């Protein structure tokens, strides 16, 4: 177990999934039969984190309700003898110590992270973005926490993407280190045009940050899209030779992007096909369906 707390920003408007997200937060969209945010909470718990702060916005009560217990539902399932479902329902309320804070106005990811300052205090913390799901077989977050403990630096996760996709991400300039899979980040740009990108290494939604990031965020001016960008605050840390610096852990594993509709559908299909309870029925149908396309 680690003393590191996790922060999950979940205050976005979810416009790409309208009208589904008109009254429901996008973090509650099911990926097979679990809301996306539960995968992220389970990932944090899997890395030894037990204190989780979710930054919520308007219309987000469904998220806090999801992590609450529902005694009447539990009694019903108990009476029916449906122990499998009972266990799954209870799991979401027993996972971790989950706290909530409101963002108020949605002024960007950097602003959302700043809302965690009081709860986090003066310890290091992890940030997990709900649009990126990391396969449960991966140990990315644990590796990032270990890299932070070794170096004291802010740690970001980097993944190679097609150069034409880099405008969707923060992009990093890097130098290699003696530490396998860990690089020094010398610069960061939020969502650059392909021609201006320092590399095709994209920042994916996992961060392990020192508390000094809060002071930087406090003075970070709105950047790309008029929003306060976490990438801009990290760029300041990367450029400051006297500060903790920024390192990147290169991730080559399985990640699902649930923020994009096509990738969201792919994630559901992939995860369902691998499930013991669903895969056997789904695989032959999927083959037949694909042959008809
Ligand atoms: C955010 C960050 C971006 C990062 C991305 C990863 O962007 O600002 O640097 O690459 O998450 O998913 P968003 O996708 O929230 O617009």
pLDDT tens digits for the chain (293 residues)? Answer: 678 999 999 987 888 999 998 888 899 999 999 999 999 999 999 999 999 999 998 767 889 888 877 778 888 888 888 888 778 777 766 778 899 999 888 899 999 999 999 999 999 999 999 889 999 999 999 999 999 999 999 999 999 999 999 999 999 999 999 888 899 999 999 999 999 999 999 999 999 999 999 999 999 999 999 999 999 999 999 999 898 999 999 999 999 988 899 999 999 999 999 999 999 999 999 999 999 98
Same domain, 138 and 104: yes
Same domain, 160 and 276: no
Same domain, 105 and 242: yes
Same domain, 127 and 236: yes
Same domain, 247 and 266: no
Q: What b-and-e string marks burial along 186-214, b requiring 16 or more CB atoms within 10 Å of the CB?
A: eebbbbbeeeebbbbbbbbbbbbbbebbb
Distance CA 209, CA 234 (A): 9
Q: Which helix (H) or strand (E) holds 205?
A: strand 201-209
Q: CATH no. for residue 48?
A: 3.90.550.10
Give tens-digit pLDDT for 152-176.
999 999 999 999 999 999 999 999 9
Tell me what pLDDT residue 59 has.
67
Q: Which residues pair with 167 in a beta bridge?
A: none
Same domain, 138 and 119: yes
Distance CA 8, CA 151 (A): 23
Look at residues 174, 193, 191 and name the one whose alpha carbon lies nearest to residue 249.
Answer: 174
Under 8 Å between Cβ of 40 and 67 = no
User: Whole-model pTM?
Assistant: 0.93
Tell me what pLDDT residue 154 has.
97
Tell me what pLDDT residue 149 has.
94
Pocket probe mutation, ligand 1, options 169, 198, 204, 267, max atoms within 8 Å of Cβ = 169
Distance CA 81, CA 35 (A): 24
Tell me what pLDDT residue 288 has.
96
- Domain span holding position 288: 260-293
Same domain, 84 and 35: yes
Tell me what pLDDT residue 70 has.
74
- Compute, in angstroms, the gap from residue 131 CA to the centroid of ligand 1: 9
Residues with CB under 6 A from ligand 1: 109, 129, 131-132, 169-170, 190, 202-205, 229-231, 259
Distance CA 220, CA 39 (A): 31
- Compute, in angstroms, the gap from residue 170 CA to the centroid of ligand 1: 6
Same domain, 133 and 156: yes
Same domain, 113 and 182: yes
Distance CA 247, CA 85 (A): 42
- Compute, in angstroms, the gap from residue 74 CA to the centroid of ligand 1: 37
* Counted domains in the chain: 2
Can you read off the two tokens belonging to residue 9?
């920003």
Q: Measured between alpha carbons, how far apart are the two ends of the chain, in Å?
A: 48
- Compute, in angstroms, the gap from residue 19 CA to the centroid of ligand 1: 22
Same domain, 126 and 198: yes
Give tens-digit pLDDT for 252-289.
999 998 889 999 999 999 999 999 999 999 999 999 99
Same domain, 40 and 80: yes
Look at residues 60, 56, 88 and name the one whose alpha carbon lies nearest to residue 74.
Answer: 88
Same domain, 252 and 283: no
């Amino acid at each position: 177990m680690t003393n590191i707390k996790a922060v999950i920003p979940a205050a976005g408007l979810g416009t790409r999934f309208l009208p589904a997200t008109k009254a429901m937060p996008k973090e509650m969209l099911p990926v097979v039969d679990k809301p996306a945010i539960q995968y992220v909470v389970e990932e944090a718990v899997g890395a030894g984190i037990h204190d989780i702060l979710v930054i919520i916005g308007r219309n987000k009560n469904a998220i806090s309700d999801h992590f609450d217990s529902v005694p009447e539902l539990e009694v019903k399932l108990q009476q029916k003898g449906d122990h499998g479902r009972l266990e799954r329902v209870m799991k979401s309320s027993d996972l971790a110590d989950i706290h909530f804070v409101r963002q108020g106005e949605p002024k960007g990811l950097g602003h959302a992270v700043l809302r965690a300052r009081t709860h986090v205090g003066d310890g290091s913390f992890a940030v997990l973005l709900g649009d990126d799901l990391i396969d449960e077989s991966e140990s990315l977050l644990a590796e990032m926490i270990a890299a932070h403990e070794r170096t004291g630096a802010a740690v970001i996760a980097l993944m190679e993407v097609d150069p034409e996709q880099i405008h969707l991400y923060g992009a990093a300039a890097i130098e290699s280190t003696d530490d396998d899979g860990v690089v020094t980040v010398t610069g960061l740009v939020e969502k650059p045009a392909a021609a201006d990108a320092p590399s095709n290494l994209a920042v994916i939604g996992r961060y392990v940050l020192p508390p000094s990031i809060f002071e930087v965020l406090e003075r970070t001016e709105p950047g790309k899209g008029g929003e306060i960008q976490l990438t801009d605050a990290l760029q300041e840390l990367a450029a400051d030779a006297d500060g903790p610096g920024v390192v990147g852990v290169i991730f080559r594993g399985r990640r699902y992007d649930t923020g994009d509709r096509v990738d969201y559908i792919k994630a559901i299909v992939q995860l369902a096909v691998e499930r013991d309870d669903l895969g056997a029925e789904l695989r032959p149908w999927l083959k037949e369906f694909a042959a008809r396309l």
